[in-house]
Amino acid sequence: MGCTICGRELSFNDIGATKKFINRGATTFFCKKCIAKRLDMSEEFMEQKIAFFKQQGCTLFS
Ligand SMILES: [Zn+2]
């Protein structure tokens, strides 16, 4: 399974990020780069958000 937009192979965190940032019930997934672009935020900012969610015990990220 790859990113719907760019075809890049998806990591566990990419799938988690799609659910968290785009749609919880998503059945197609995007890589972090494409999500960041779509939501008009920097990848760096997204990484920070992901680190924060992880700290909160979110199981969508490893
Ligand atoms: Zn992509």
Query: For the chain, what is the mean pLDDT?
Result: 96
Is the per-residue pLDDT at 1 higher than 90? no
49 phi and psi angles, rounded to 5 deg: -60, -45
**Cα of 3 to ligand 1 centre, how many Å?**
5
Side-chain half-sphere exposure of 8, counting CA atoms within 13 A:
13
The residue-averaged pLDDT of 49-59 equals 97
pLDDT confidence of residue 37: 97
Is the per-residue pLDDT at 22 higher than 90? yes
DSSP state of 56: T
pLDDT confidence of residue 16: 97
The pTM (predicted TM-score) of the whole model is 0.92
Two structure tokens written together for 1: 């399974």
pLDDT confidence of residue 55: 97
Alpha-carbon distance of 6 to 25, in angstroms, equals: 21
**Cα of 56 to ligand 1 centre, how many Å?**
26
Is the per-residue pLDDT at 36 higher than 90? yes
